[in-house]
Homo-oligomer: A and B are copies of this chain.
Amino acid sequence: MSVPESKVTCGQTLAKVPIFSGLTESELVFLAERAVPRRYAAGESVFGEGEPCSGLYVVESGHVRIFKSSASGREQVLSIDGPGSSIAELPVFDGGNYPASVTAIDDATLLFVSKQDFQALCLAHPQVALKVLRVVGARLRRLVGIIEELSFTTVRHRLASFLLRLAQKEGKRSAAGVEITLPASNQELAAHIGTVRELVSRNLSRLQAEGMLQIDGRTVTISNLKALEAEIDSPE
């Protein structure tokens, strides 16, 4: 009996997912046989906030955006996740609905694992449950961080720290400073730091006027890193 090719691909992907690392070959196959690959076009919804939770997803390729949206149309991004990340690990266990919405940012392939299969796996392999707890821990820290920023800081602060996080992660050193690429639109950036398009635009301009940045389309060069850093840890 031969294993379909798509299942083999699943297996290879699964082995790279943090929460499944440590499983044996045969266990991965077991899981791969039960994981359903689903393809999403850029912008397509994976699930919406409030829908009943049927299982968890693992990102195989592409990126997803986890966010809340308000009645008035504003959005707050909670997390962006790429290959290897699992999403909705938690609602699987507490039986509630999905607490936030998820869409694909670019074309993406996700593996779907049903609640039942996953719970069975956790019971059979306690290490998996511990791994899940670990990634959930990271998620919780991020959420607490967002709360902290929203509760204590201004849009200006949040923008500065967003830029610095970007610089940390994917910044390239150039002659004039550290070069980073902004999210697709200011609207999107606003959803990350919990505000609206206009304030992002204004605050970016202001930081540039103050000589910390140099903006060129979606590319920003941080020319005065020190000043920008001073911005985030000084209350004034």
Q: Give the CA-CA distance A76 to B152 in the complex, in Å.
A: 8
Q: Give the CA-CA distance A144 to B194 in the complex, in Å.
A: 13
Chain A, interface residues (CB within 8 Å), range: 35 or more
> Is there a chain B Cβ closer than 8 Å to A182's Cβ?
no
Partner of A94, one of B95, B119, B123, B134: B134
> Is there a chain B Cβ closer than 8 Å to A141's Cβ?
yes
Asked, given contacts A70-B152, A76-B152, A150-B147, whether A129 binds B122 with beta carbons under 8 Å apart, the answer is yes
Residue of B nearest to A194 (CB): B151
Contact B148 A90 (CB under 8 A): no
Partner of A134, one of B93, B99, B123, B150: B93
Q: Which of A142-174 touch B at CB < 8 Å?
A: 143-144, 146-148, 150-152
Partner of A72, one of B72, B144, B152: B152
Contact A123 B132 (CB under 8 A): no
Smallest CB separation, A129 vs chain B (Å): 4
A92-109 contact mask (Cβ, 8 Å, vs B): 1 or 0: 011110011000000000
Q: How many copies does the complex hold?
A: 2
Contact A99 B144 (CB under 8 A): yes
Smallest CB separation, A174 vs chain B (Å): 32
Contact A140 B139 (CB under 8 A): yes
Partner of A130, one of B74, B93, B151: B93
Contact B76 A137 (CB under 8 A): no
- 12 residue pairs bridging A and B, Cβ less than 8 Å apart: A70-B151, A70-B235, A90-B133, A90-B137, A99-B144, A122-B126, A123-B126, A124-B126, A129-B130, A146-B147, A147-B147, A150-B151
Residues of A near any B CB (own CB < 8 A): 68, 70-72, 74, 76, 78, 89-91, 93-96, 99-100, 119, 122-124, 126-127, 129-130, 132-141, 143-144, 146-148, 150-152, 194, 233, 235
New A-B contacts (14) at CB < 8 Å, excluding given A68-B144, A76-B152, A146-B147: A74-B151, A74-B152, A90-B140, A93-B130, A93-B133, A96-B141, A99-B141, A123-B127, A124-B126, A126-B126, A129-B133, A140-B143, A143-B143, A150-B151
